Amino acid sequence: MSEAQTHVPPAPIAVPQSVQAALLRYRVIAYVVGIGLIVLVLIGVPLQVWADNDAIVKIVGPLHGALYVIYLLLTLDLARRIRMNLIVMLAVMLAGTIPFLSFVAERKVTAMVMGPQRRV
């Protein structure tokens, strides 16, 4: 085979350790915020409305709010490290306010960050 016919795949792009650490922090908080929001919306609010029991909302609501602030900060940190587009960053931040969407955003962000490394 000639030099022109030989196809050598490009070398995978190494993702810096600082980006991998920021991604791990983001992934953990995305799951925690997502689970907290699901508990709040699917269990706490129905109990508050139909059973007149606001115990879960009183506990999970403020906890979710505090964790959401951490989610925003960790999303900002990751976005800064990978130079994420502003619109994409805002969409990822808003994903923490819609039940189940933080899980989808987490998968997409992980694929965006680690995608070049996985293509071998």
Is-contact 114 23, C-beta < 8 A? yes
pLDDT of 82 over the 90 cut: yes
Instruction: Please tell me the distance from the alpha carbon of residue 105 to that of residue 34, in angstroms, as a whole number.
Output: 10
Instruction: Please tell me the distance from the alpha carbon of residue 106 to that of residue 64, in angstroms, as a whole number.
Output: 17
Predicted structure pTM score: 0.83
Q: In three state form, how does the secondary structure of 10-47 look?
A: CCCCCCCHHHHHHHHHHHHHHHHHHHHHHHHHHHHHHH
pLDDT of 58 over the 60 cut: yes
Domain residues of the chain, as ranges?
A: 17-111
Instruction: Please tell me the distance from the alpha carbon of residue 5 to that of residue 119, in angstroms, as a whole number.
Output: 21
CB atoms within 10 A of CB 23: 22
What is the share, in percent, of the chain residues with pLDDT greater than 90? 78
Section 50-58 average pLDDT? 92
Model pLDDT for residues 91-114, shown as the tens digit of each residue: 999 998 999 999 999 999 999 998
